[in-house]
Amino acid sequence: MTTNTADTADIEAAVLALKEPSSLEIRPRYEGSNICTWIGFKHVNYLVEEAVLHHLRQAGIAPGTVYETYGLCTDIVDIDTRILHAFHIDDTAIAEVKPHRKAKDGELVLAVTLHVRRETLLKAVTSTVRVQLRLDPRGGGEQPVPAALAPFAVDRLGAVPGWTPEPVEVDLAADDLVKELTAGRNAYAWKFRIPYWYCHFTERQQMSGYLRLMEEAKDRLVADRGVSIKTLLDEQNWIPVVPHSRITVLDEARMEEDLYVVLTVESVFKGFTYDSRMDTYVVRDGQLVQTATGRITHGYAVIENRRDWSLVSFDDRMNAALEGRSA
């Protein structure tokens, strides 16, 4: 089957339309309102993702259409998000999406800005998102990939991270690979079987799955060190806050593979925030393959009332937990 002239012209026009800004008004999902009415970082990133998908649809490159027609899977492979103001559950996000100023020819890199209405319209979130169109060998009968989309098409997902992933040497024959991955590190790790609901396009883990794991990694680490989310809520009225997160897909992780998730505390900044790095691995064909790397910045805030909070400095117990020692 060949692509007709009208279809080719439509796709060429759609790729040109990607260069035009798009806008969208959207509310956070209710699921993301976990403590009081504030929206967590994962669901802020979901707003960014929805804005990107809307941008593609507005241009005429809807994810469902390009998959069913050309066998191209729309994947976010890098998302770098800074949160400047918190969203509440009843807020409306005003999203603006445009090509990133540093995007090169043949790259689908988008700049996303979310505003929120307060007394004035505030810039609440800025994000840089990289999208790839992954060729799917499943199915059949699709039309060939149009020349206009070919620069964005890849045979395998993978992006260049903002830092050099730290090489890991482990004994794959060891009884406990989790211990191997954390030996000598200020880190927490666990093994996770990738379920189908973390995946899309039939097989591969999608970006939202990594966002879920990044949130879970924080929860597991602080619980393991005696300062769980519930403990600090009950005893000090503290909650974690996230001003910055980034995740980059380095290789593909597949449904029902065992994914090893490692969260390493890297640094503490002036007793107010700390940076952690998340790395994920699978064992495939006798090799340890890194599938993603990410970084997240956490602080803590004290709940002042049902709407307001303010940042606090870490106490001795929190500093000890972050350093991996007893208070």
Report the run of H or E that residue 200 belongs to, with start and end. strand 199-200
pLDDT tens for residues 194-242?
999 999 999 999 999 999 999 999 999 999 999 999 999 999 999 999 9
- Angstrom CA distances, 35 to 31, 156, 217, 310, stand at 11, 38, 18, 14
Q: Which two tokens stand for residue 218?
A: 């924080």
- Taking a C-beta distance cutoff of 8 angstroms, is the pair 150, 132 a contact? no
DSSP state of 203: T
pLDDT value at position 114? 98
Beta-bridge mates of residue 234: none
pLDDT tens for residues 243-288?
999 999 999 999 999 999 999 999 999 889 999 999 999 999 999 9
DSSP-assigned letters across all residues of 262-285: EEEEEEEETTTEEEEEEEEEEEET
pLDDT value at position 5? 54
- Taking a C-beta distance cutoff of 8 angstroms, is the pair 79, 11 a contact? no
pLDDT value at position 141? 66
pLDDT value at position 260? 98
The 3-state DSSP class for residue 141 equals coil
Low-confidence stretches of the chain (pLDDT < 50) are: 1-3
Q: How many CB atoms lie within 10 A of CB 72?
A: 26
Beta-bridge mates of residue 276: 265, 296
pTM of the model: 0.95
pLDDT value at position 196? 97
- Taking a C-beta distance cutoff of 8 angstroms, is the pair 170, 177 a contact? yes
d(CA 129, CA 200): 18
